[in-house]
Amino acid sequence: MNTRIPLDIPHGWFCLSWSHELKTSQVKIVRFCGQDAVLFRAESGEANAVAPFCPHLGAHLGHGGKVIGESISCPFHGWAWSGEGKCTDVPYADSIPKKALSQVLDTYNLVEQNGIIMAWYHPEGKEPYFELPLIDEFNGDSNKWGKSHFFEYNISTCLQEIAENDVDQAHFPTVHQSPSLPETEAFIDGIYKKTIAETLMDPENSESVSEKYKGSYKKQFTTTFTRESWGLGQVLLRMTNLPPSGGEFIMVNASCPVDTENSILRWEMKVSKDIEDTLGMAIIDGIANGINDDIPIWENKSYWPSPMLCDGDGPINKFRKWVGQFYI
């Protein structure tokens, strides 16, 4: 275990891919929880994820494997495997070995919704014990919302360190030059966590907002920033009552633990159409760029299991107690 990050990989639902990035009959190798997973979309459109090595003679299914119908065909001898891990064809044999008709290839539980392919991980192989919600704003078209903007970040730290930013209110003035210290409240119910912060924003003077978006709204304003989490793999962020027309911002953060020391964040952001051509793009741009202020700190800091905290730090201990349930 890394001494800088003395944490295992948590269990839960995590993102393997955006749905639109996995086409019908496409095969992708995804590094997931310290090992390769082979993701493929069957001809029916169903997404599947299986262990990488063919049970026949060990070829890697992600390197040259092809989708045939509902199965992935091994590049070595053509043995075909379904998304349930069962052999469906041996092209040169009169019959499939009896053992191969049962599940002999490990598979992953997948959920595809909200435009995301999520996979379940548990170090002891236990089945999923909670579900992810269907988010209406990311399922189907809506006349209310503007264009979706997608971002991806590869970060050399663990998911817990990244998620802790949610409750670490004191870092915002120092790292992000926020004009005030947001007051953060945290509400917890089992695997679900919700934080609410009243946040003063100043896009005109923010270093994270690109010059081309400055001037879209020149006044400071206060908004309610709400974050909802279902484990460490999916977070939903909202901002409401955005000027000048009471607009809204929404973002889904779908994360993946590559291993104990590396993570991938995938963000989809959009704003309501009434502010899309004014303040909306300044907010999206500022958030997308703002994480670049966090990354050097995350990638070089050490995780303290028992930090020295003060009364202005926010509900960090409450967060750590909640996140502890996702470790063995």
Kindly report, residue by residue over 171-230, the tens digit of the pLDDT.
989 998 888 878 889 999 999 999 999 888 888 888 888 888 888 888 889 999 999 999
**Residue position matching structure tokens 């001494």:** 3
Q: What is the mean pLDDT of the chain?
A: 95
* pLDDT band with cut points at 50, 70 and 90 for residue 1: low
pLDDT digits (tens, 9 = 90+) for 66-96: 999 999 999 999 999 999 999 999 999 999 9
Specify the pLDDT at position 219: 87
CA distances from 279 to 20, 179, 199, 250, 273 (A): 28, 18, 16, 14, 11
Element (H, E) at 14: strand 12-18
Specify the pLDDT at position 218: 85
Q: Which two three-digit tokens encode residue 138?
A: 């990311």
Q: Is the pTM above the cut of 0.85?
A: yes
Mean pLDDT of 128-137: 96
Percent of the chain at pLDDT exceeding 90: 86
Question: Over 90: is that where the pLDDT of 12 sits?
Answer: yes
CA distance 51 to 68: 17
Does residue 255 contact residue 265 with C-beta atoms inside 8 Å? yes
Q: What does residue 276 show for φ and ψ, rounded to 5 degrees?
A: -60, -35
pLDDT digits (tens, 9 = 90+) for 298-317: 999 999 999 999 999 999 99
Mean pLDDT of 96-107: 97
Mean pLDDT of 243-258: 96
Does residue 286 contact residue 31 with C-beta atoms inside 8 Å? no
Of the segments 197-201, 280-284, 323-327, which one has the largest average pLDDT value?
Answer: 323-327
What the chain holds in terms of domains, given with CATH numbers, is 12-121 (2.102.10.10), 139-326 (3.90.380.10)
Sequence letter at residue 311: D
Specify the pLDDT at position 178: 83
Specify the pLDDT at position 41: 98
Q: Which two three-digit tokens encode residue 130?
A: 């909670």
CA distance 32 to 51: 11
For the chain, the straight-line distance linking the first and the last C-alpha, in angstroms and rounded, comes to: 15
Does residue 169 contact residue 310 with C-beta atoms inside 8 Å? no
Specify the pLDDT at position 32: 98
Mean pLDDT of 36-43: 98
Asked if residue 244 has a cis previous peptide bond (ω within 30° of 0), the answer is yes
